[in-house]
């Protein structure tokens, strides 16, 4: 469920005042993640690497209260749930968008990921949960290794957004450079840093 809240009654009051009308309120962080554990789990359990990373993203975000609030238009909206978006190559060779509800249970998340990405690929119809859930966008450039990417500031979609390419192998470990873009009204840099640290921790302790 989503509802409009009065910014002055939230911890984001000053940020709302400072950043809602800024020409470019989006901030991008770059970080290299150690994804060795995900690579090993993916190979051992035959699970999709990007599904595992999406799961960890959702878990890491769920512990940060700022993710449940998002500027939409000129309003501040509060949500009860989160979702992680993934881009799907559909049957026409084009791309479609698929939102997966955040879950703390890997089996549940995996089943929904497989079900809904397959449905979206076949139907070419986006699955959009943004009415009721705060959606974390992702985009994966699977054909190449990238050091980072900056998303666009459209002024329409203020959702946090993550981009990554192929992971890199160094000696016996695997590393993945990612970019994380967020609206400054939604969170400050320290909060974004906390989320990225949470993400690395979720990756490390996944079993």
Positions of E strands within the chain? 2-5, 26-34, 69-72, 75-79, 81-89, 95-101, 133-140, 161-164, 168-170, 173-183
Phi, psi of 170 (to 5 degrees): -130, 115
Q: What is the pLDDT of residues 147-163, one digit of tens each?
A: 878 877 776 789 999 99
Partner residues linked to 140 by β-bridges: 164
Q: What is the pLDDT of residues 57-77, one digit of tens each?
A: 999 999 999 999 999 989 999
pLDDT for the residue 22: 86
pLDDT for the residue 61: 98
* 127 three-state secondary structure: strand
Q: Name the token pair of 145.
A: 């290794």
Mean pLDDT rounded to a whole number for the chain: 94
- Which pLDDT band, with edges at 50, 70 and 90, does 201 fall under? very high
CA distance 205 to 56: 10
Domain extents in the chain: 26-205
- Asked whether residue 196 carries a pLDDT value surpassing 80, the answer given is yes
Topology of domain 26-205, per CATH? Chloramphenicol Acetyltransferase (3.30.559)
Q: What is the pLDDT of residues 81-139, one digit of tens each?
A: 999 999 999 999 999 999 999 999 999 999 999 999 999 999 999 999 999 999 999 99
pLDDT for the residue 121: 97
Q: C-alpha distances in angstroms, 205 versus 31, 35, 36, 59, 84?
A: 19, 11, 11, 12, 20
CA distance 73 to 51: 30
pLDDT for the residue 96: 96
Q: Name the token pair of 103.
A: 């879950």
């Amino acid at each position: 469920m989503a509802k409009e809240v009065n910014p002055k009654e939230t911890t984001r009051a000053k940020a709302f005042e400072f950043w809602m009308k800024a020409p470019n309120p989006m901030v991008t962080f770059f970080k290299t993640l150690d994804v060795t554990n995900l690579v090993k789990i993916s190979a051992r359990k035959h699970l999709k690497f990007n599904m595992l990373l999406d799961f960890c993203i959702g878990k890491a975000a769920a512990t940060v209260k700022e993710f449940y609030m998002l500027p939409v238009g000129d309003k501040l909206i509060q949500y009860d749930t989160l979702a992680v978006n993934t881009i799907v190559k559909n049957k026409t060779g084009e791309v479609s968008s698929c939102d997966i509800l955040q879950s703390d249970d890997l089996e549940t998340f995996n089943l929904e990921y497989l079900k809904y990405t397959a449905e979206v690929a076949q139907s070419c119809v986006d699955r959009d949960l943004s009415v009721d859930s705060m959606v974390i966008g992702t985009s994966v450039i699977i054909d190449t290794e990238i050091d980072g990417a900056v998303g666009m500031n459209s002024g329409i979609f203020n959702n946090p957004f993550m981009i990554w390419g192929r992971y890199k192998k160094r000696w016996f470990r695997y590393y993945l450079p990612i970019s994380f873009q967020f609206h400054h009204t939604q969170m400050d840099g320290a909060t974004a840093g906390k989320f990225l640290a949470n993400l690395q921790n979720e990756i490390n302790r996944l079993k």
